[in-house]
Amino acid sequence: MSDTDTPAILVIGGAGYIGSHTTLALAAAGYRTVVYDNFSTGHRDVCFGDALVEGDLHDRKKLAQTMRDHDIQAVVHFAALIEAGESVVDPLPFFENNVAGTLKLLGAMQDAGVGRLVFSSTAACYGNQSTGDLLDENLPRDPVNPYGHSKAMVEVVLETLAAAHGLNAIALRYFNASGADPEGRTGERHDPETHLIPLVIDAARGKRANIKIFGTDYDTDDGTCIRDYIHVNDLASGHVAAIDYLLKHNEVGFQAMNLGTGRGNSVREVIDAVRKMAGKDFPVVEEARREGDPAILVADAGRANEILGWQARYSNIDGIVRDAWNFAVKTDQ
Ligand code: UFG
């Protein structure tokens, strides 16, 4: 290692929502960070790395060169297409980017001799297996859309490489990423936005006519879907904990871990939290169910708690809504 022995971490997709928060958290934990992004969906004004390399996930040579140039000790990989609904309509780009692109990255890691990876995975790996119990990592992968398949396929590749070549890889399965940096340095800026919390905030701020509830006849207390909303800063600290762990342990192999809170909120509870923050009412329209939505998705976060010593600290719905609200107002989205 160089640079006074401060480990350098390559953050692929560091200009995105979770990537930008994680870069801030890695820096706060004392790591050097190199952001690598092609800016297809990311934003230049939230690149917080010590260095920035503009490049594509498919550019194996550039990736390997970047790892050598910066003496990279571990990689965190966020760069992915994420819209599950869009993946059903047009699946090929999801496999091209999320699977084929990640294979290039893994090749580059081999070329440069980098053997530690934290991979952005998803609760979508579980598909519709929720019975209302907390979802734990012992359940088989059973995605129900191409987005979830693309992530589950990469998990299989990582597992295989871990067995064959000793790759050390942790796949973090995020539940519902939400909120924003409490200091307002970065936040959620998807285009188009499809996620519940920013859409409800837009409705409350008069930026859209209403919020639609997709389904009020689910088998839940208030009839709407329940999700495990996890503050993006908790996701960021989960990545720091995974990097710490990979740098301390030599034979990690492949491990999948949930990042969630173990508690869920219904769509109506989210709307109520935004109503409270806004201090006013706004139109809510009850619609039919959206295809592919499981009724309840809540994580058992025991494995990440136990192995990484990680705990969600920011993830209560009022705090999530407050930080998301403040970011939306600040950037006037
Ligand atoms: N919802 C509405 N109205 C909207 C938007 C969403 O009622 O306008 C509902 C959805 O039906 C769902 C809940 O709000 O019940 C949350 O929906 P999101 O679109 O915000 O998030 P999802 O749970 O569908 O999916 C998100 C990510 C996925 C990830 C998953 C993991 O987008 O990539 O969380 O739980 F896999």
Whether domain 3-179+230-260 has CATH 3.30.70.920: the reply is: no
pLDDT value of position 3: 55
Stated as kind and residue range, the H or E segment containing 51 is: strand 51-54
| Chain center to CA of 80 | 10
* Whether 31 is catalytic: no
Mutate to test the pocket of ligand 1, among 88, 172, 195 (most ligand atoms within 8 A of CB): 195
- pLDDT 10s digits, 185-242: 999 988 888 899 999 999 999 999 999 999 999 999 999 999 999 999 999 999 999 9
pLDDT value of position 130: 83
Active-site residue, from 147, 174, 218, 314 = 147
pLDDT value of position 10: 98
From residue 329, alpha-carbon distances to 47, 121, 142, 200, 202 in Å are 21, 30, 39, 13, 10
> Structure pTM?
0.96
- Give one word for 223, left, alpha or beta, with left for phi > 0 and alpha for psi -120 to 50: left
- pLDDT 10s digits, 44-89: 999 999 999 999 999 999 999 999 999 999 999 999 999 888 898 9
Task: Tell me the domain boundaries of the chain.
Answer: 3-179+230-260
Mutate to test the pocket of ligand 1, among 207, 217, 227 (most ligand atoms within 8 A of CB): 227
pLDDT value of position 5: 81
**Confidence band of 129 (pLDDT split at 50, 70, 90):** confident
- pLDDT 10s digits, 210-226: 999 999 999 999 999 99
Higher pLDDT, 108 or 132: 108
- Tokens 């800026």 locate to 189
pLDDT value of position 278: 97
